[in-house]
Copies of this chain bind each other. A is one copy, B any other.
């Protein structure tokens, strides 16, 4: 029996941290709320909640915001999160452009700066990251919580970029580099996984325990949240569905094999197969119902639908959200996805599965990077 990390003790400090994160989450999710309500929701005593809220108020993370209506007794004092109590530096390392921004605790972006990558080598690209961080950092008006980075490619759990798509980065320990250079906690993760966490944390009232977010753009990737946690798998490669072979007789992929999902369903692949000059033109002609491009778009949708059917069949995850530039293809594409996913999976399962349009989401990677950091530093999502 070699592995023993699963033998990790529980301490009083952990109990405290858990309950502190619990109260913070309650404030975060349930808006202005009384201490008594938090106590009822969490099962903690009013005493403990009062103490934990006092801690949060001392840290400036929460504040009393007046009284609520009485329900037959003393009217409660409502406590709310101070959304701007902390600032997060977020980065989206796109394939051609790097973007940095500031975000508050709600993922509201304020200062956005971009830098073009054109022609820079790996070292210079890292320099660009540093410059962007220094640049937006000057605009911060509340204490910095840390740096969150989303990037294409494979990133392992400690924030080392295994390989980047079109940079000569290999085994670059970016999280550690950023922590040392800027003196702040840093998180680096794959962009699809960031997108999943953004959808989970900022996605509205529903917060499904299990959620798969599929990002379809230049590549095809997924972020998988299981039991309220991002799932990484044995090699932090979970969600790399773009290179599952869907058609062994298909065309060659840049990964060297034939018929990967990306060769059928990624934006460049669909544009090439449809023979249009640009993706914009493809969207226009798809919307117009052009018969010369529709079959290609539908085939791409069906390929994604089949992949979803495989996922839902195996995992029984009922919440699927699709984001990325490809969502501009609209109804025909989504219908193809839903039809194929439904046709290929068990009836009751297909009936309850929701495949949602998450939009093109230019900011989804920035938001995801922010969500990653909030999760890590404040425990805003479950992590134990």
Contacts of A288 in B (CB 8 A): none
Q: A231-B226, A316-B238 are in contact. Are A343 and B44 (CB under 8 A)?
A: no
Q: A234-B317, A243-B346 are in contact. Are A12 and B9 (CB under 8 A)?
A: no
A292-327 contact mask (Cβ, 8 Å, vs B): 1 or 0: 000000000000000101110111111100000000
A277 contacts chain B at the CB level, 8 A cutoff: no
A81 contacts chain B at the CB level, 8 A cutoff: no
Q: A19-B10, A245-B343, A310-B307 are in contact. Are A316 and B236 (CB under 8 A)?
A: yes
A191-231 contact mask (Cβ, 8 Å, vs B): 1 or 0: 00000000000000111111000000000001010111101
Check if A210 sits within 8 Å of B233, measured CB to CB.
Answer: yes
Contact of A237 among B3, B256, B319, B349 (CB under 8 A): B349
Contact of A244 among B30, B224, B309 (CB under 8 A): B309
Check if B237 sits within 8 Å of A316, measured CB to CB.
Answer: yes
Among A3, A10, A240, A346, the one with the most B-chain Cβ atoms within 10 Å of its Cβ is A10
So how many copies of this chain end up in the complex? 2
A22 and chain B: residue at smallest CB distance: B7
A139 contacts chain B at the CB level, 8 A cutoff: no
Contacts of A384 in B (CB 8 A): 384
A75 contacts chain B at the CB level, 8 A cutoff: no
Contact of A3 among B14, B15, B26, B207 (CB under 8 A): B207
Can you list 8 pairs linking A and B with CB atoms under 8 Å apart? A1-B205, A7-B26, A9-B19, A227-B229, A231-B315, A241-B313, A243-B313, A307-B310
